[in-house]
Amino acid sequence: MFNKQEFHQKQKKKHFISNEQDKIIFGKSSYHIRVNDLNHSLKTFSLSNGQEVFVPAVIGIVSLWYTFGSGTRLDVGSNSAPTLTILPPSSEELSSTTIATLMCLANKGFPSDWTMSWKVDGTSKKQETSPGVLEKDGLYSWSSTLTLTAQEWTKAGEVTCEAQQKSQTPVTKTLRKADCSG
């Protein structure tokens, strides 16, 4: 534990986080900590100006983030690659419109800055991606939507969704049209 003099010296620095067993001390500005233990009890603390929070000894997930100024967010936690699932267009959509909408769901990734992209038979396609949503377990989920013409979908052999984050290995999921009904 810091003595009072060490604590004030460290506070003069821009920002610090010290983790001593079950105690976390926060420096200047505003931090948030979320603790999710194995009993699924979720506690969130918002702290500022050198406040201390005592977190019971927890075996589980701790998610920490700091908000700079008007909205830049820094996530602190363990890297985790999301699991991808591709949802093909519905048979109702294909029979009643001239478009085919595919969705790629990315679940349980960390940090929040994964980007998603699509390829149809190896050719990159434009898409829309939702911002990451922080789940109760401290991990993020996203979705990305690809809109093709019904004709493009009919001709497609395979569609690939890829999630990338600069410090991690990309994750891909491929849907083969032959495996879809409709």
- Write down the residue that tokens 């699932």 correspond to: 85
Domains and CATH numbers, the chain: 6-76 (2.60.40), 83-179 (2.60.40.10)
Helix (H, G, I), strand (E, B) or coil at 151: helix
Tokens 């920002």 — which residue? 15
Beta strands in 115-169 (DSSP E): 115-120, 123-125, 128-129, 133-134, 140-149, 158-164
Name the pLDDT band for 132 (thresholds 50, 70, 90).
confident
Q: What is the pLDDT of residues 10-53, one digit of tens each?
A: 333 333 333 333 334 444 444 444 444 444 444 444 444 444 44
The rounded distance, in Å, linking the Cα atoms of 75 and 38 is 21
Whole-number pLDDT of residue 78: 77
pLDDT in the model for residue 60: 44
* Separation CA 57–CA 158 (nearest Å): 48
Read off the pTM: 0.61
* pLDDT, tens only, 71-121: 555 556 778 899 999 999 998 999 999 999 999 999 999 888 899 999 999
User: Mean pLDDT across the stretch 4-14?
Assistant: 38
Using CA atoms, how far apart are residues 99 and 1, in angstroms rounded to an integer? 62
**Burial track 82-93 (b if 16+ CB lie within 10 A, e otherwise):** bebebebbeeeb
* Distance linking the first and last C-alpha atoms of the chain: 64
Lowest mean pLDDT among 53-62, 95-104, 172-181: 53-62
